[in-house]
Chain A
Amino acid sequence: MTSTWTPDEPIVSLKDVHKSFGDLEVLKGVSFDVMKGEVICIIGPSGSGKSTLIRCINALNDIQAGSIKVEGQEVNTPHLDKLALRKKVGMVFQQYNLFPHKTAIENVMMAPVLVLKQSPEEVEVHARSLIKKVRLEGKEDAYPGELSGGQQQRVAIARSLAMNPDIMLFDEVTAALDPETVKEVLVTIKDLAAEGMTCMLVTHEMGFANEIADHIYFTDRGVIVEHGPPATFFKRAKDPRTREFLSQIL
């Protein structure tokens, strides 16, 4: 498959995406585009399908209808090259999901060595710089069990970055953290955004979304209700559902 994608086209493009779990339809026709270097935040009440949406982008969940294109390549196809897709798309989870039997540096190094077959020496240099980037120098040899939630989450970010992805997905990455460690994770994400990484976040941190996002999408009951740049979105929300949600949160 040859990709004809050029950087002036959307790096991620969703068209009329439908997703059901059995009889329950969680995504009822979602469409939007993300440009390279853009940071978008998806917000919405629990159960509105926002986590499912983001998981569909790197094919952790399959979709029933519609189209998802990442750098011009269709994800919703039986011939999907999952390896190629996941090299391009990094993902960070709410529960960190670090490998508990490996140290921080081993967690970061594992995928490049085993999947990309890069030489361990080179990977180690890169991994150390990533650990440094997420401000965890000195914790290289700690096991996940010895790290705080915020520290584990930053290792998880470094682990995804080690694959040199073009896009990063963040699925409620601060939801399981203590309030005092939320900030260190958000700072790390902000650094990434500032470097021009394309980021898609599902989040409950409205202040953070306001600060970092180029574009905000509000989902409810499987559809995008409203979207716009933070300035207009937060101040002049038109839809009553959005207004109600924002009034509860802000």
Chain B
Amino acid sequence: METVAEWFLWLKEAHGIKLTIFYDELDRTRFLSGVWTTIHLSFVCVLASIVIGMAGAWLQMSPVVWVRRVMSGYIAFFRNTPPLVQLYFFYFAVDSALSGMLGIRGGIMSSYGWAVIALSFFAGAFNTEIFRAGIESVPKSTIEGAQSLGYSRFQIYRYITFPLAYRVCLPSLNNNLINLVKTTTVAYAIAVPETLYISNQIWSDEYNVPEMMNVVWIVYLVLVGILVWLMHRWEKAIRVPGFGQ
């Protein structure tokens, strides 16, 4: 650790490349906390968006026409408005309206909380469509085959529909979740202390914009790269010969 710090100090002295996060205790601590925020913000949003997607897909197949209409309205709204504006809408407008209604001063939720809500609903809209399409891709004849063997409704869902739909969905779902992780950077706009926001603080303090910019880009490439790699492994692991692509 010491030698690494020394090397980067030398780099600064000799070449003027100021990578403070490697030798400055404060910068290192806050940068790592920023990366950590990105990771858990991503993780929470991924989970929440999957739950929203599942519930949404289930509601979209409701026999009640107005439930379906409300769901397609939700999807259309979140897909066709900018995620940044959605985030501002939640953080500024909804927060102030709710706190006004409830008589709470200073807002009802932190920026982190609103980021989770906005991003999860945004990605959840896409997940809903992905899950619905996955379930619809299971042909009636397969279900009928299971029915004729005496499977119960739950058994059909548990052993036939879900395993098949999940395999079909996975590539699109992974794509969307990777997108979601990239979109967490938008939380910068409402001062969630994630990687980009913290890095901005560091380069404002240390005047090392090019260095930090490159660090941020590399950090995100590594994070997204790991995720892409994991998802590919997962897709490979569940592949059934002769099924799917």
Contact between A and B in the complex (any CB pair below 8 Å): no
